[in-house]
Amino acid sequence: MNTFLLGTIILLIQVPGAVYVGVDSKVISVGAGVSNVMPVPKIHQVGDVVFAHAGIFRDTQGKLDVVAAATSSIRAGGNLVQIVERFTTAIEPQLSASLPDIRTENPLYFNEKLKRPLEMLFASARSGEPQTIIVFFEVIDPSANKLAFRHTLLRCPGDCPQQSATTIGLGEHDAADQFLDSHPDILGKQGAIAAIQGAIAYQASATPNYVSLPTTIVMVDSHGVHF
């Protein structure tokens, strides 16, 4: 039997000059059943690059290791685009090798939750200004014998407005979005950290089986990475 570890929520707020990334503490183990396990870090720093993951990130048979693939991709050097391209090339075969196990062992969870099995966020100010790239992996045909994936990139700046704040949720974030929509002044009056803390706390109260406190937040600006 192969068991998988999954993370649940990432919340990004990018403002001119800085990127704020928050994650919750919940880690879920999925095999034939679903259970909670001890929290493990879901946001990581390698040099001047930060990455975070929502969805599947490791299995017990050694077929999948998102943190190792991301760490290796960063340490190989290059700009953030090159790092993400290297990571994508490395992780898709791992997803293809491991996901059929969870489809066999827990088809209900696979069909309900894992058509988009992994969402990744990379952030750095390596280029001189804060930059974020988000990668969404989606299963092309969930019934295929050999699973294949399409990946979509979202770049900020580039795909996001540069003169105002951008907020993006990954993983389990519907209630967090509702919180931010219903508190439009929290970012301007209390700042990005308070907005992330409030939104993730609201998501945790709405979906306690998938999101839990405390929240870890990191900020990236031209001066570096700040936890």
Which residue in the block uniquely carries the two structure tokens 């979906």?
Answer: 207
Taking phi over 0 as left and psi of -120 to 50 as alpha, with beta for the rest, 2 belongs to beta
Looking at the domain 4-219, which fold is it? Glutamine Phosphoribosylpyrophosphate, subunit 1, domain 1 (3.60.20)
pLDDT of residue 83: 96
Q: How far apart are CA 159 and CA 57, in angstroms?
A: 26
Q: Domain residues of the chain, as ranges? A: 4-219
Would you state the structure tokens that stand for residue 93, as one six-digit string? 């075969």
pLDDT tens-digit map of 110-150: 998 898 999 999 999 987 889 999 999 999 999 888 889 99
Q: On the CB side of 120, how many CA atoms lie within 13 Å of its CA?
A: 29
pLDDT of residue 164: 76
pLDDT of residue 6: 85
By the 8 A CB rule, do 38 and 28 touch? Answer: no
pLDDT of residue 40: 85
Q: On the CB side of 29, how many CA atoms lie within 13 Å of its CA?
A: 12
pLDDT tens-digit map of 61-74: 999 999 999 999 99
145 or 20: which leads in pLDDT: 20
Q: Residues 92-103: what's their mean pLDDT?
A: 94
Report phi then psi at 45, rounded to 5: -120, 130
By the 8 A CB rule, do 212 and 37 touch? Answer: no
Residue in 20, 18, 21, 178 with CA at minimum distance from that of residue 7: 21
80-105 vs 66-75: helix crossing angle, rounded to 10: 170
Residue in 52, 28, 68 with CA at minimum distance from that of residue 218: 52
Q: How far apart are CA 32 and CA 113, in angstroms?
A: 14
Q: Residues 65-92: what's their mean pLDDT?
A: 96
pLDDT tens-digit map of 174-185: 999 999 999 999
pLDDT of residue 25: 94
